[in-house]
Amino acid sequence: MKKLFFIILCLPMICNANTFSAWVEMGPNNSAIARVITSEKNCPNIQLDKTSQPMELRAAAITKYPVTSCEMILPRQLKSASILGQKLVLPKLEPQRIVIIGDTGCRIKLGSAQACNDPKEWPFAKIAPQAAKYHPDLVIHLGDYHYRLSACPIWNKGCRNSPYGYNWLVWNADFFTPAAPLLKAAPWVMVRGNHEDCQRAYEGWDRFLDPFTYSPVCKKYSPLYTVMIGDVTLYVMDASSAADIITLPEQTAQFKQYFTQIEQSAANNVWLTTHKPIWNALFPAQQGTLVSAIADNIPDNLNLIIAGHIHQFESLNFKNRPAQLIVGNSGTSLNKWHDSATPKDLVINGQKVITPLIFSRFGFMTLETQNDQWVAQVRDVDGKVMANCLQHEKQFVCIT
């Protein structure tokens, strides 16, 4: 029985039995980082154009994580790269097609148990290959990769035999196995979610996905970093620890510093990715740390905020704020919101929302450039378009 389970676990992975997963992710200063997770003690070689060299050890195997994490910062003028025969997709100077997903893990926590074994109830394994068919140049994950915190109740068939806790088995089941087709399709931007904060799954985050240097000591805050998307400067902000419903002075000071850094940059067209949204329709009066930090400090060059955390889709436009998209509907059990209940006079933190679009259906978002503008499609688990969106300056209007 153990042998059968191992075979099933490895089917979606890289064909070479010694490697579990390989991908490229974007890091600080628009760097591209090759990553590998392998069951071998030593890191494999990476083929860079016509030369081959060993990858660098990121984190050695331990009991809870019996796999080795390896990495290599890729040269900027690189034409091709591969690991054990798997070709890596290298970043483009001007990405034209982007996939956005968020909140993908399967929720099992005490009395709340999502049916991880049912693709209708936990559809991330269906969303990932559908998103890969879009042939993106870049994938953005908005955080919350790891969600199986408790054992599945013995009477619940929907999540029977699911691993749980903070270990490799959960990271593999929640993310690496279902994400495999999409990890191979394009470079990724990995945003840290609150489920990867210092009280939860930070160890797996640090070992596998954090774009910064590995440290066994958890980092409460990570530095801002940028990824270039043509003329768009994408800032990646670690808001994993930001308080949702209260304002903490120490946190407010930290995030004010981030917003000031964006304001003082030379970038003219900034998009900000953050796991936790600044404003949201589910809790419109919520006065959290991010609301406090940006209240009188909205950077003039900030045109779009893209967030997750709220388990639904939201498109919010304001008169005196940048547009905000929430894409938190890619797998984790959804928040309850009825499409017909989208209010016409929605006010969030003191400002009326212009043309809101809000719904709770599983799916993902695609973005692409058309005639020097960014257009987007909100898609369901099968890739069918549920809404079309068009950006104009600080507005990102979505209609069904």
CATH number of residue 250's parent domain:
3.60.21.10
Backbone angles phi, psi at 321, to 5 degrees: -135, 160
Please list the rounded mean pLDDT of every run of 10 residues in the chain (400 residues): 34 47 96 97 96 97 97 96 96 96 95 93 98 98 97 93 97 97 98 97 98 94 96 97 92 96 95 97 91 93 97 95 97 81 81 92 96 94 97 90
**In sequence order, what are the residues at sequence separation of 6 or more whose Cβ sits closer than 8 angstroms to the Cβ of residue 200?**
146, 149, 166, 194
pTM over 0.85: yes
Looking at the fold, whether 164 and 222 belong to one and the same domain comes out as yes
Residue 339's pLDDT is what? 59
**Displacement of CA 29 from its chain's centroid (Å):** 19
Residue 307's pLDDT is what? 98
Looking at the fold, whether 70 and 137 belong to one and the same domain comes out as no
Looking at the fold, whether 140 and 257 belong to one and the same domain comes out as yes
Residue 88's pLDDT is what? 98
307 and 273 Cβ atoms separated by less than 8 Å: yes
Domain count, the chain: 2
The sheet with strand 354-359 has its strands ordered as 225-229, 232-237, 270-274, 302-307, 323-327, 313-317, 354-359
Looking at the fold, whether 150 and 251 belong to one and the same domain comes out as yes
Provide the token pair at 24: 């490229």
Q: Which of 87, 105, 132 is the last residue of a domain?
A: 87
Looking at the fold, whether 240 and 343 belong to one and the same domain comes out as yes
Q: Which of 178, 196, 200 is nearest to 240 (CA)?
A: 196
Residue 59's pLDDT is what? 98
Looking at the fold, whether 143 and 228 belong to one and the same domain comes out as yes
Alpha-carbon distance of 183 to 101, in angstroms, equals 12
Identify residue 354 by its one-letter amino acid code: I
Residue 340's pLDDT is what? 54
Q: Which of 62, 87, 112 is the last residue of a domain?
A: 87
79 and 305 Cβ atoms separated by less than 8 Å: no
Residue 11's pLDDT is what? 36
92 lies in some domain: no
376 lies in some domain: yes
Provide the token pair at 7: 């075979």
Range of the domain at 27: 2-87
Looking at the fold, whether 23 and 140 belong to one and the same domain comes out as no
Q: Which of 300, 296, 393 is nearest to 354 (CA)?
A: 393
Q: Which of 52, 87, 122 is the last residue of a domain?
A: 87
